[in-house]
Structure 1
Amino acid sequence: MTDESESMETTNDESQKPESQGRMQILDHALSQARKKIISSAKLQLFQKHLRPIHKKNPEVLKRMHMQLTKQLDCHISEEVMLMFAEEQMEKILDDLDGVIASQKDNKEEAWRPSGDPQQDSRVYNISVKVKQKAQLQHVLSQLEQQNTLLRDHVALRQKKLLGTKRTVDSGISKWREINEAATSIPADELVEFVQKYGKIHRHHTMIPWDDDIDVLVNGSQKEAMSRALESLPEYTLYRPPLVQWKFFSKNITRSKRPFAWPYIDIFFFGENETHIWDKANRYTQLYMFRKADVFPLQNKPYQGSLQPVPCNSPRVLSRTYDPTLCTTSSYTHKEERSKDPGSRKTVKCESLYRKFPFVFRETRDHYVMETVKVGDCILYQTKAALPCWTESP
């Protein structure tokens, strides 16, 4: 398209003035004409003048560049105008204005005319305007006061709930520390703690957000020592059936028909030989069997504000049973003591949850491992941990 043809097209378009159209159509037509004039001003001769080396070398390339630029410019301007119309609700405003004007066509009331006294005219006009503004402001003020009252009540309720949650969390941490102190009376080399078989500590430093129980694994030879330590806590009850895992829970929780109440801690016991340990519960023996070299010596890792003993070769222990890159919801609800609907179980890549939940990221350094707990790019805290047993210096 030549500059002359562009100019002729613009002139022809300008001659086609919209008649008997609404203001929105008039505005749209005017902006369309303005856009075409802007595009037509980007003449090919200007490109040829300022980009002379390219024009001499390959005039067709320059011409295609010019055409592409003008098309993109036209597209961007159109998009910006449409966005402006949408944000400012121009079509509704102008349609309302058309309606107001149309409704006044048959109005026989005489329009206001100045009296000749500027002060009097100004006073009469301003009084009516100010009265309307006052009424509007009073209405806005009333609405704001109502909103402030609702907001104040909502904030007070939220503060009350947060205080209650804080007390619950503080109480839980305090009770967990009591349990931890009681459990430390058992020899450290005989006690191994797993939270969902160690996943909570390794992956989150806290409860897995989509889980609802805690598992502890204790040497079977320490059953009586564990029983004495836990039964010495007056606010808790230990349920110890002979063939399955024990359950440890608060006395303040109302029980249903079962001899225990959720939330509780499941206490499993392991057997051992010279090379391995395993879960003594028959249904878990093959699933939870680990090399002693991967478990001992135990390392202390952060969990819920305290340090808990965990295996020294955690990746191998975890990969024995789980895929550490996958996050999976539980197949069992401990609160209701029943299996979940198989269709409700979800498995996703853990990395897809990094921006929603706290995860632990590790960086091995010369003499320690830096563990960083983050939600997305937000660092919650960092802590130093011992080197895993498989990388310790000799």
Structure 2
Amino acid sequence: MEVQNVSGENENVKQKENDSCEEQTDAAAREDVSSAGSKAESGSKAAEETTARYNRLKLFDKVIQKSLNRFIEHASFKVFASMFLPLYKNNVKRMEEIHKLFTDVLQKSIQDDIIQLMQEGKFESKFNELDKLENEAKDNPDPAWRPSGVPEQDFCSFLMPYYQKQKAYMKLELKRIRAENAALAERVQAGRKSIAQTEQRISTAVDEWKATVTEFETLASSLCPAHVFDE
């Protein structure tokens, strides 16, 4: 009997241990699922924040529209009617129609002014430029520029790279112009040489022609003496 009791107690202990292990496993699995869910939520939130940060134009439109709606809400019918109390008491329905027309025209006028302002200020291109600068800054390991508190140093630190770039550009341009001038000088020298050779050929041809004429005159005089023509 004692052996059976001991074996029964051992089985109960083993069963409890198995149950506790299963509970721990289930708890760990639930923790993994919850952590994975929280990571997914944080990842989705980060993606949403990134998307929202890059949609600056949409965010600007949303803020402007919300501000416009709040502004129109301040021009409520109650405030509008209090300004024209005699007309309101005389004809409430007509006053409501006038208020609706007033708010519609006011909202459209403000929206047109905002659109014109955005077009004149080129907001869309400026927002795209900000997105481009932000993307370029991510790949740049160097820290962003910050003012040192000394205007002279900040001014020099801003102008010196610009002047250095201009100096390098001017050196390249000077080198290019010198190369072009050297090529032009070579072409001029080649042209002068060609002209000199042409002049030499012309002079040689003239001398040969003169010699030929002289020989012809000599030959003609030897074949036909002058006294023959005198007779």
Tell whether the structures are fold-level matches, with TM greater than 0.5: no
- Which TM-score band applies after superposition, normalised by the shorter structure? 0.3 to 0.5
Structure showing greater Rg: 2
Higher strand share: 1
TM-score (structure 1 length as normaliser): 0.27
TM-score (structure 2 length as normaliser): 0.44
Higher helix share: 2
